Homo-oligomer: A and B are copies of this chain.
Amino acid sequence: MGHDCSFLSALELDGEVSFEAAARESHAADWVAAEAGLGVTPDAVVWPASTADVSAVLSAADERGVPVTPYAAGTSIEGNAVPLFEGVSMDMTRMDEVLEVRPADLQMDVEPGVMGDVVEETAADHGLFFPPMPSSSNLSTIGGMIVNDAAGQRTVRYGEVADWVLGLEVVLADGTVVETGSRAVKTSSGYNLTDVVVGSEGTLGVVTRATLELAGRPEQIRGGRAVFASMDDAAEAVADVVRSGVDVAKLELVDPLAAEMADDHLDTGLPDGATIFVEFHANHGVDEEIAFFETVLDAHDAETFEIAGDDRMEEIWRARDELAFAVQGYDPDLEPRHPGDVTVPISRYPDIVRHAKDLADEHDLLLPCFGHAGDGNVHYAALIDPDDPDAEARAEAVYDGIVERAIEWGGTATGEHGIGMGKRRFLELEHGADGVEAMRALKLALDPNDTLNPGKIFPETADGGRVDRPER
């Protein structure tokens, strides 16, 4: 064991503690870390049942210099939940209650372990929805979405998770419980602690409750897809839709390779061209907005365009919604590696997609690309033959080449999955040494002993040690 965690047994918790190998091993990795063999087994797993539990564990661990890494669904892709320096994996999935719905305020209070689809269903019971919900709503918790500042298909119209979190209850590293924000939708009272914690990947505090803002379900919803002769045409059309101010609620791009994979998987006979998936939300006038959208499609030579209401929308969108599984199952001899996403200013969107495809060709790799195109976001994953000795290195070169170019063009290394372990090496390239130093100052201000999720976000040090650990 890396750390003596026997102190956990002496705490009187409402929840549970386990030192069993099975429990520990099941908390070693997230999706990508598991595939890449980058998991690290924690010394113990705690399932807190209350804020008091979280506070007791953090306070005791902090005193002893034992790292604590929050864990939830384990579906992150940058190693965000891997307990890199062992210690305690704090599994939040048993704090999974919807605490209160206030429909008259369009608000909901939830515990962090509530799954995304439970948030959706609960909101839907009141005619409401949580606009920034990621596509992985049935695979990830609201707590995970908050600490990664996740986003989804509807972000192009409604914004990201941070925009819909009004306040948090957060336990700091020393066990102090802080309430951030308020139930007001607008405040300029003191520092914005909410947005400091949102996106901090469990390195600044553990979220134990969140107040979410909700929206009313629009009266008119239509979904459609358009297929283009070339990827360039499709990407240019995306940039033009955004520039023109067409009011789209979703705007996704799927490249011909990914479209082919989706078609193989679903067997729907979808044409294998570059495809834009789109959704419209309105109380009134949705048909006129669709007509406006079509004028942009025409200018970019869309080959086909189909649009539908509730009856057939799901069918039209299935190829996009199940794409991740399609990529996963495409070829049993190939393994997806180095999945990731970047986001660029919209005028650079055609360029970054082209760059990604060119890099893949250059390195002789299959690289399906798709993403929240309306935000300038592209997701990708390389499919490699594990018997090919340098395929892994080529996949990494493609991954790095995409990220570096995105940053060069004013974009970001990660649109919605955080930095985790996977993108630490780009933090300084994106934010500069002084930007990273300012972030480190925040980290040490709230977690001076580097107890919370050490080794994440910040660049690895030369000695491989805990990167944020201050001199003592």
Stretch in A32-40, A62-70, A236-244 touching the partner: A236-244
How far is the CB of A439 from the nearest CB of chain B, in Å? 5
Query: Are A412 and B191 in contact, with the CB atoms below 8 A?
Result: no
Picked from B149, B186, B344, B436, the residue with its CB within 8 Å of the CB of A375 is: B186
A199 close to B (CB within 8 Å) = yes
Those 10 A-B pairs whose CB atoms lie nearest each other, nearest first: A285-B285, A216-B245, A284-B285, A183-B410, A284-B288, A445-B445, A187-B412, A195-B195, A184-B343, A104-B347
How far is the CB of A198 from the nearest CB of chain B, in Å? 7
A283-324: which residues lie under 8 A (CB-CB) from chain B?
283-286, 288-289, 292
A191-221: which residues lie under 8 A (CB-CB) from chain B?
191-193, 195-196, 198-200, 204, 215-218
For the complex, give the distance between the alpha carbons of A292 and B102 in Å: 23
Query: Are A435 and B178 in contact, with the CB atoms below 8 A?
Result: yes
For the complex, give the distance between the alpha carbons of A184 and B431 in Å: 13
How far is the CB of A437 from the nearest CB of chain B, in Å? 7
How far is the CB of A299 from the nearest CB of chain B, in Å? 15
For the complex, give the distance between the alpha carbons of A148 and B434 in Å: 24
Query: Are A199 and B192 in contact, with the CB atoms below 8 A?
Result: yes
How far is the CB of A113 from the nearest CB of chain B, in Å? 20
A339-385: which residues lie under 8 A (CB-CB) from chain B?
343-347, 372, 375-377
Query: Are B188 and A346 in contact, with the CB atoms below 8 A?
Result: no
Interface residues of A (CB under 8 A from B): 102-107, 148-151, 155, 159-160, 162-163, 172, 176-180, 182-193, 195-196, 198-200, 204, 215-218, 239, 242-247, 282-286, 288-289, 292, 343-347, 372, 375-377, 406-407, 409-419, 423, 426-427, 430-432, 434-439, 441-446, 457
Provide 28 A-B residue pairs closer than 8 Å at the C-beta atoms, listed in order of the A residue. Answer: A103-B243, A104-B243, A179-B431, A179-B432, A183-B409, A184-B343, A184-B345, A184-B415, A185-B343, A185-B375, A186-B415, A186-B416, A188-B199, A188-B415, A189-B414, A190-B431, A190-B457, A191-B200, A191-B443, A192-B196, A192-B198, A192-B199, A193-B435, A195-B195, A216-B244, A283-B289, A285-B288, A441-B446
Query: Are B105 and A345 in contact, with the CB atoms below 8 A?
Result: yes
For the complex, give the distance between the alpha carbons of A162 and B149 in Å: 15
Q: Which residues of B contact A246 (CB under 8 A)?
A: 283
For the complex, give the distance between the alpha carbons of A215 and B445 in Å: 37
Query: Are A347 and B102 in contact, with the CB atoms below 8 A?
Result: yes
Query: Are A415 and B288 in contact, with the CB atoms below 8 A?
Result: no
For the complex, give the distance between the alpha carbons of A200 and B443 in Å: 18
Picked from B412, B413, B437, the residue with its CB within 8 Å of the CB of A176 is: B437
Q: Which residues of B contact A377 (CB under 8 A)?
A: 186
Cβ-closest chain B residue relative to A347: B104
Q: Which residues of B contact A288 (CB under 8 A)?
A: 283-285
Known contacts A172-B438, A375-B186; A159/B159 CB under 8 A: yes
For the complex, give the distance between the alpha carbons of A347 and B204 in Å: 33
How far is the CB of A10 from the nearest CB of chain B, in Å? 25
Query: Are A189 and B435 in contact, with the CB atoms below 8 A?
Result: no
Q: Which residues of B contact A245 (CB under 8 A)?
A: 215-218, 283
Q: Which residues of B contact A104 (CB under 8 A)?
A: 239, 243, 346-347
Q: Which residues of B contact A406 (CB under 8 A)?
A: 184
Query: Are A431 and B107 in contact, with the CB atoms below 8 A?
Result: no
For the complex, give the distance between the alpha carbons of A409 and B218 in Å: 29
Query: Are A446 and B435 in contact, with the CB atoms below 8 A?
Result: no
Q: Which residues of B contact A292 (CB under 8 A)?
A: 283-284
Q: Which residues of B contact A198 (CB under 8 A)?
A: 192
For the complex, give the distance between the alpha carbons of A372 and B343 in Å: 34
Query: Are A155 and B199 in contact, with the CB atoms below 8 A?
Result: no
Given contacts A182-B410, A184-B343, A193-B442, 11 further A-B contacts (CB under 8 A): A150-B188, A151-B188, A162-B192, A178-B432, A183-B411, A184-B410, A190-B435, A191-B442, A245-B283, A283-B288, A442-B445
For the complex, give the distance between the alpha carbons of A186 and B215 in Å: 20
Query: Are A344 and B184 in contact, with the CB atoms below 8 A?
Result: yes
Picked from B178, B199, B375, the residue with its CB within 8 Å of the CB of A434 is: B178
Residue with the highest number of chain B CB atoms closer than 10 Å, among A196, A372, A443:
A196
